[in-house]
Amino acid sequence: SFTVLRTSWREITWGDNKNALQYLKNFRPQNEEANHIRVLLYGPVGAGKSSFINSVNNVLQGRMTNEALASNTTSDQSFTKIYQTYQIKKGSKGNFYPFVFNDIMGLEDGDGRGVRTDDIKNALKGHVKDGYKFNPVSPLSDGDHGYTSSPSISDRVHVLVCIYSANAAQMNQSVLQKMREIREAASELGIPQLAILSHVDEACGETERDLKNVYKSKHLKKKMGDFSSSLGIPMNCILPVKNYSHEIQLNSDVTTLILSALRLMIDFGDDYADKL
Ligand SMILES: Nc1nc2c(ncn2[C@@H]2O[C@H](COP(=O)(O)OP(=O)(O)OP(=O)(O)O)[C@@H](O)[C@H]2O)c(=O)[nH]1
Ligand SMILES: [Mg+2]
């Protein structure tokens, strides 16, 4: 075929998810002062931020779940407006995995609708209280109810993950500009960054037919390359993912990609938290 390469351009082991699962089950932050590694997901409306958290939850629970509430309505307003920390249950005794997720309201085109870049910077530094409802009109400031003045290591963001749909037509310039600003803010703080290219199933027929073609698809390789250069994130920090969306049961290949992205973000975050 003209659309797929003969061999994968990146190595990945399909169908054996046990090692990665065990690694995550055993994981503890190196920094003993850190209760958890905090992952902040950001990206345009509908990119799949909530779905990614749902997918991680599915994979770690070993069954389908619906806790992070991915929106199923098509709307120009983002579904995620509250700064909420998502924990993942571990076992049945009120334990949680030592990594947590936050997702930030979509970056929308134009002014005054998405989360302000200043508030994303606040979140990176741990100043945004859990449950805070972002105000698109004015950013949080010291003294506000939702503002944490002296954040702990656990309040801070340890890894920033940008999610973008492989199925999106073209990168919107104002969204791109906003993503760059956020990246720069994170870079100034030394926070490691990754990017997830979601919806890889919908973006390429060969991948839709068989997810194992994800690193053989010429189209997706180009998408990842374009994404890398427009965002300024190196190719080895870009991970393709197909979120659990229409499935009613777990699928080993879907899980493989989710675990591979999750493991990298936890490790990057852990390295950063260890230096704090
Ligand atoms: N086929 C497919 N559908 C996906 C994927 N990721 C997300 N979806 C679907 O895309 C829609 C939007 O996903 P969400 O997870 O709600 O997106 P979001 O980034 O949280 O969006 P906001 O909270 O509105 O900013 C949902 O209907 C998901 O089921 C994917 O990788 N593949
Ligand atoms: Mg969402």
Q: Return the pLDDT at 69.
A: 54
Instruction: Compute the average pLDDT of residues 188-215.
Output: 96
pLDDT at 115: 80
Whether 219 is in a domain gets the answer yes
User: Which atom of ligand 1 approaches the CA of 47 most closely?
Assistant: 19
pLDDT(134) > 80: yes
> Residue whose CA is closest, atom 1 of ligand 1?
199
Whether the per-residue pLDDT at 109 is higher than 70: the answer is: no
Average pLDDT, the chain: 90
| Percent with pLDDT over 70 in the chain | 91
DSSP for 24-57, written as a single string: HHH---SSTT-S-EEEEEE-STTSSHHHHHHHHH
Residue 9 belongs to a domain: no
- CATH number at 269 reads 3.40.50.300
79 lines ligand 1 (CB under 6 A): yes
Helix (H) / strand (E) element for 4: namely none
The answer to whether residue 4 sits within a structural domain is: no
The rounded distance, in Å, linking the Cα atoms of 34 and 55 is 24
Report CA(206)–ligand 1 centroid distance (Å).
20
Residue 203 lies in a domain: yes
CA dist., res. 269 & res. 117, Å (int) = 21
User: Is the CB of residue 242 below 6 angstroms from any atom belonging to ligand 1?
Assistant: yes
Q: Is 3 helix (H, G, I), strand (E, B) or coil?
A: coil
Domains of the chain: total: 1
Relative to the CA of 75, which ligand 1 atom is closest?
A: 24
Domain assignment present for residue 18? The answer is no
The ligand placed nearest to the CA atom of residue 41 is 1
Half-sphere exposure of 16 (CA within 13 A, CB side): 3
Question: Which tokens belong to 112?
Answer: 């005054």
Span of 59-73, 85-99, 154-168, 217-231 with lowest mean pLDDT? 59-73
In a domain, 1, yes or no: no
Ligand 1 pocket test, candidate residues 134, 209, 243, most atoms within 8 A of CB: 243
- Take atom 29 of ligand 1 and give the residue whose Cα is closest: 245
Residue 171 is encoded by which pair of tokens? 């990168």
Ligand 1 near 211 CB (within 6 A): no
Domain around 172: 37-275
